[in-house]
Chain A
Amino acid sequence: MSSKFLFFDKTPCEWSEGLPTVSPTYRRVKKILGEDWVKRKHTYGHIKSMDIKFTYYQLASNAVLAGCTSESWSVIKKCIDILLDPKFNLETVITTIHSQSPLILISGEIVNDLDIDGGRGSIGPGSKKSIVIGRAIYLFIRNILNGTPQGIDAATQGHLGKITFCFAENKNLSPWKEYHLRKGYKKTDSTVTIFSSQSPHEVIDLGEKDVKTLLDGLVHTLLNPWTYNSFYNQDVWIIMSPEHAKRIHESGMTLDDLEEYLFNNSVFDKVDLEKRGLYGFIGQVEANTTKLFESKDNINIVVSGGYPGGYSMICFGSGVSVTKKVFQ
C-alpha cells in the first residue's frame, strides 16, 4: 500500500491530533524541502513489513503541518532514519498496548542553530522549535504509518509525549560532556537520539548537604518491578536537573561514577519480580538477584531543564536508544 492513500484520503481535520496545523501548501512544502525539492517524488522510505512507502514530499508535508520550518528539515530526516532503523523496532513502538513514544534528544551544534536551549521547561513547553520537531515525527506516524487509536496505535492510555517529546541538553549548566561526545561523536557534530519512552516519572529531592538521599531516590525509583525494564533490562533515560547534576558533581562523583553506582545498586531481589503482574508472561526469574541493567550502556543520563530545581525525570521504556549524525 502506498502511504498516499493513508495521507491524502484524509480530510485536513483528520491530519492532526486536534491542535491547529499549518496548511501544507505547495510553496511551504517546497521551502522546507530546500535542495531536496528535486527529489520530492522520490521514495524517502519503504517499510516493507508494513507495506508502506512514502516520498520526500509526503514527509515534508507533515513537517509543515506540525509547524516546522526549513532549519529543522535535516533533523526531521534523521529522526525518520532512526525510526526506520531495524534496531528501533518501529512496528512494536507504534502498535503496542504499552503507552510509549519516541523520546528525541537533539545534541551538538545544531541545537544553537535551532535555538533550543534545553533550559526551563525543556521537554515542554520550553522550546517552540523542539515542540514542533517532535510533533512532526508524531504526524508522520499518524498520517503516513496510520498510527492513530483508530488505526494501529493500540496504546491503552497513551501519554502526551506521543504528540511531542523532543528536547536538548542544558549545555551551559551541565557539569558533564554533551551526550553526543560521550557516544564518540565530535564537538562539531550534531546528532539525534531516539528512545521509545513511557511518560517521564519525576524524582524529587530537595536536600542540599548529602548526595546520598538523591542517589537513594534515583535507585528507589529505578527499582520499580512493574515496568518492562525490570524484565527486558534495556535502556532507561534519566533527564537530570542542573541542580541535581551539580550536587552529584560537587560530591566528587563523576558521571562515570554515577552510572557505576546506578548499575551496581539497581538490583532486584527475586521476590520483588515474582510479585509483579508481568511475572510469567515474559519470562521466569531463576537467580536470587537480577540487575536492572544489562550494562552501563543502558543508562542514559542527560542534564536538561532550568535552575534551580531539585527535580529529575526517569523515563522507562522498551528497547535501546539509537543515535545518528545529522548532516546539514
Chain B
Amino acid sequence: MKNTAVGTPLHPALRAFPGAVVELSSPDGVVLDSNGVLERRLERRLAGRPLAEALDASSRAKLERILTHVPEADQAPSAWELMVEGKDTFHPHTFYPLRAEGEDGRVWLVELPRDPRFAGMYDELNAVSSEQALTQRQLSKEKARLGRALDELERESAENSRLSRTLQAQNEEMEAQNEELLAMTEELHAGQEQLLQLNHQLERRTRELQLALSARNRFYASMSHELRTPINAVMGYNDLLLASVYGPLNERQELAIERSQRAAQHLRELVDDVLDLSRLEAGREVLELETVEIRGLVEEAFEALRPAADAAGTPLHVSVEEGCTVRTDPRRARQVIAHLVSNAVKFGKGAPVVVRCRRERSGEVVVEVTDGGRGIPTEDLIRIFDEFVQLERDENGDSSGVDGTGLGLPIARRMARLLGGDVEVSSTEGVGSTFRLVLPAAPPLPRIGPKPEDGD
C-alpha cells in the first residue's frame, strides 16, 4: 500500500519480511503502509486508520511513547509489545520501532518474526500450568471435604467405641453376676442334693419304723387273739366249776376257783386293751358317725361299770347340761368315757365319781370325770398317758389294791384323738383328779393311714 502524500513505498525487502511490518505516520500514528502480515493474522484492515484504534488501552499508551520517543536511526531500537485487537488475539506482538533516515514523518514497526511452533508450545505450557492449578484446587477442596467427613466418622467412631466400652463394662458386670448366680445355683443344687439324701434317709427310716410298728402291731394282734382263746376256755371251765356242773365244790375250792376266775378276767381285759391299742396304732379304725347325746353314752358306761363300782362302794353321779350333743362314733366315745370312769373307780378308793358334761361356746363338748382319789403328783402327770404305766403299782410293786392293765388312759387318749378330740388331766394331791374328754361338734376329716408315734 502506498501513501501518495508521503510518496515512498515500503522497501521491497521489508515487504517480503516474514514478520509484520507497519509504516506509521509520526506523531499521529496513522497506518501508511504495511507488508500485510498483521492484517492477515488479525483479519482486519489497518491502512489509512490510526493504529491506536486497533490497540487495547495499555498498548495505546505504549504506542504514544513509541511515536514520541523513537530512537534515531543510528540508535539500537528496543522491543515493544503491543496488544493488537483482532481475530484470536491472545498475545501481544513484539515490535521494533525504526525511524527511516531523513524521513521525519515516518516510523516503521517491525515485528520480530515468531516461530508458530514456539507459540504453540507456549500456549500448551500455559494450559498445563493452569490445568495443574485447577486440579490442585479441586483436589484440595475434595480433600477438605473428605477430611471433614473423616472427622465426622472419627467422632462417630469415638462415640461408638465409647458406647462399646460401656456395653463391655455392663457385659462384664452381667457376666460376674451370672457367675455369682451360677455359684449360687450350684450351692442350691448341692443343698438340694443333700436335702434329697436326707429325705431318702428319712423315708427309709420312716419305712423301717412303719415296718417295725406294723410288725409289733401284728404281733400284738395275733398274740391277743391267741391268748383270748385259752383265757376264754379257762373262764368257761371256771364258770362251769362254780356252777357245780362237775360236782359240788367245798368252800376252799370255790374260793380258789373264784380267784382263778378273777385272774383270768384281768388277763382278758389286758388282752382286750392290747388288741384295742394295736388296732389304734395300726390306724385301721373306721369311724361310724352318728349324732349322739352324751348323757346316753355316760349312762351306758355307768351300766357296764356298775358291778365294779358297787364292789368298790363307789357312788356314780352324772350331771349333763343342755345341748350336749355331738356328731361322733358312739362306740368309741362310750369306750373313752368308760375307760375314764373305770379309772376313777379304780383309783377313787370308794369316793364318789362325778361325771359333768357341758358345751363350750366353740361347739366342743367337755366331759369331766372327777374322782376323790389321792391325786397325781405334778411330775407324773405327763407319764400317765404312757402305755403300761400305773403309778400306784409302780410305787408299791403291789397290784392287789388296784385292778387294771395300765393301758386304759393311753387307749382313752388315742381314741379321743381319733375322734378329733383329746383327753387332758388336772389333779390336786390329796383332793383328787379330773380327767377331761373334749369332743368336737363333729370330727375333722378322718386320718388316713398309720400315724407313727414316738418310736418303739
Answer yes or no: are A and B bound together in one complex. no
Chain A interface (Cβ < 8 Å from any Cβ of B): none
